[in-house]
Structure 1
Amino acid sequence: MQYQLSDVQHSDAEVLVRQCEIPANRRDPLQTIMFPNANTRLSEEDEEIVMLGLDFYVGYAVWSLEYGSQGMKKAPAPDMRCESWNPATLDTRAWAEVSDRLREERKRVLHGQQTIWRLTSIQVVPEHQRKGIGSMLMQWGCDKADLNRWNSFVMAYPAGVPLYHKFGFKQTGQVWTELGIFKSMFRESKKAV
């Protein structure tokens, strides 16, 4: 099967979540911490790149460019307000605790950075994993970072670490959780020629 990269729009979000994110996250440690009582079966419950295969999505990556002296401020976005809704299965205490620890680690690593190209999410449908899709998505992001001379960052859970190492990310720290160790990983830009 051949795969290709394709830009997507915000209007594709629901399809991406249903076809890629939900199946890919069934065993994700962060999802398990946040949703300890969730049923793992499928239920109804700023830049994206997507893989297409036979007219359906099999994966995506979301990369965002962050600005600021501490690498934590994003470019201004339109003021959009949405109603807040938390699923009944969300453990808000665990979510807040882990989120705070991950955020503090990110601040520590990115302190003093002016511009960071951050991988915020990468998902590949389980049946299509280990077929080069993650590498294609990473190659696209790393090429863009190198072209623009941006350093890159990702908070990785154990399953993703080998892929990130393959693309030059180096571990800079870690955050311990009850379900595994998240690793902060940083990649210096390879200067474009």
Structure 2
Amino acid sequence: MTGAWLEAYHRASLASPDQHYLKISLDSASSPPLVAFVKWDFNTTAPGHRFPAWHADSDGAFCDAFFGSMDEARRQIMGTRQHYYLDTLLTHPDYQRQGAASRLIRWGCDRADQDGLPVWVDASPEGALLYQRLGFRDVSVPGITPEGAVSMLRDPVPAAAS
């Protein structure tokens, strides 16, 4: 994650009490100290732009179209229905498949279950397998969800069922 994105996330965290940033890091001075990071958005009805400016080396038109299509799929499925949104999840490659991402996902899903709300995530095809194991289902919108992405929804689990 670039310094510009980290700075943008830091500014957003100070201004947006409904956005929750969690990390799993190592207590030692080993490298890398950051194991995994997640951004949860608990207010999906508030207007506003989700992403910092694209890096100068990125294809801005492609990024706008790709991420815009994912947002359009979410709007078509969810409409104005309140839900939690798993916005960003990163795991350092040295720590993948060791449970860190699952732990960060479960934190938000537990909160959504307590509040009786569904959870939305846009996943890569590889990441979709992890989300399916955690109760998400593919709700991709043909012709809207872009190739290389999977639109996923998890309905709340009542307390008696968990």
Pair in the same fold by TM > 0.5: yes
Cα distance in 2 between the residues matched to 1:47 and 1:138 = 12
| 1:77-130 per-position Cα deviation (integer Å, ceiling 9, x unaligned) | xxxxxxx865331212211221221121111111241x2111001101000111
TM-score by length of 1: 0.63
Which one has a larger percent strand, Structure 1 or Structure 2? 1
Partner of 1:141: 108
Partner of 2:25: 52
Identity of aligned residues (%): 24
Partner of 1:161: 128
* SS of residue matched to 2:139: strand
RMSD: 2.4
Q: 1:102 aligns with which of 51, 58, 70?
A: 70
Is the CA contact (8 Å cut-off) linking 1:149 and 1:192 kept in structure 2? no
TM-score by length of 2: 0.74
Gap change, CA 1:89 and 1:75, over 3 Å in 2: closer
- The count of residues paired between Structure 1 and Structure 2 equals 136
Q: What stretches of structure 1 of length at least 5 have no aligned partner?
A: 1-12, 18-45, 68-72, 77-83
Is the CA contact (8 Å cut-off) linking 2:66 and 2:146 kept in structure 1? no
Q: 2:57 aligns with which of 83, 89, 96?
A: 89
* SS of residue matched to 1:49: strand
Partner of 1:74: 46
Cα distance in 2 between the residues matched to 1:91 and 1:109 = 27
